[in-house]
Amino acid sequence: MALTKTEIISTALGILDAYGLNDLTMRRLADSLDVKASALYWHVANKQSLLAELVDKILAGLEPPELDATADGDPWRPSLRGWATELRARLLDHRDSADLVASMRAIGLAGTELSRAPAAVLTAMGMADQEATTASQTLIYFILGHVDEEQQRAQLGALAGEASPTPVMDGTASFAAGLNLIFDGMAAALPHDG
């Protein structure tokens, strides 16, 4: 049976989860598929584009945040909080994914422009376009930076004594705290609500 791109991508994701980004090489991936490394180049242009597709797969199905019209107070807050929490969860599902997404994002290869979805919510709330763009980018930097640090720490922990007694700080809690800080900053830039 001929190789398929889908098969390649999901095998790559398996290697990423089990051994990390450093061990995700074209040769190792080929070995896992019982094929020579050069065979991969019939299906993908190069490693970069393979990684970009991996990012797409990791982020696939991430729903853009929606404003709940029935909510009163700050409807955008729970909306963005839910979206950010979903994004973090997907990243935490795959080892080294925050690092991977950040590097792909920089090269502009990742199909998903992450900051667009939250920006739309903010403009819907009356924020100016440029301000909304900046604010969402700040949000994305926070999410990727935070999760990257969580994943790096998890790896260090795995190297030292397994099951570390207590993590330095609860990731979920500090993530929530950081989100609140950014939301408070956004609130200050939003038109005054009654």
Partner DNA sequence: ACCTGAACACCGTTCAAGT
For every residue of the chain, DSSP letters joined together read ----HHHHHHHHHHHHHHH-GGG--HHHHHHHTTS-HHHHHHH-S-HHHHHHHHHHHHHTT-PPP---TT--S-THHHHHHHHHHHHHHHHHTSTTHHHHHHHHHHHT--S--TTHHHHHHHHHTT--HHHHHHHHHHHHHHHHHHHHHHHHHHHHHHHSSSS-SS-SS-HHHHHHHHHHHHHHHHHHHSPPP-
Q: Is 9 or 151 the residue whose CB approaches a second copy more closely?
A: 151
Q: Which of 120, 137, 154, 157 is the binder for a second copy (CB under 8 A)?
A: 137
Interface with DNA includes 67 (CB under 7 A)? no
Q: Is 26 one of the binding residues for a second copy (CB under 8 A)? A: no
CB of 143 to DNA, least distance (A): 27
Site size for DNA (CB under 7 A): 19
Residue 134 touches a second copy, criterion: CB under 8 A: yes
Q: Is 25 in the site for DNA (CB under 7 A)?
A: yes
Residue 70 binding a second copy, by CB under 8 A: no
Euclidean distance between CA atoms 191 and 194, whole angstroms:
9
Query: For a second copy, which residue of 99, 120, 124, 154 counts as binding (CB under 8 A)?
Result: 99
Stretch that binds DNA, among 46-54, 68-76, 77-85, 98-106 (CB under 7 A): 46-54
Binds DNA (CB under 7 A): choice among 42, 63, 69, 168: 42
107 binds, among DNA, a second copy, none (CB under 5 to 8 A by kind): a second copy
Taking CB under 7 A as the rule, does residue 109 contact DNA? no
Q: Which of 4, 48, 152, 172 binds a second copy (CB under 8 A)?
A: 152
Which of DNA, a second copy, none is residue 81 near (CB under 5 to 8 Å by kind)?
Answer: none
Under a CB-based contact definition with an 8 Å cutoff, are residues 121 and 80 in contact? yes
Task: Pull the structure tokens for residue 176.
Answer: 């929530």
Which residues sit at the interface with DNA, rule CB under 7 A? Answer: 2-3, 23, 25-28, 34-39, 41-43, 46-48
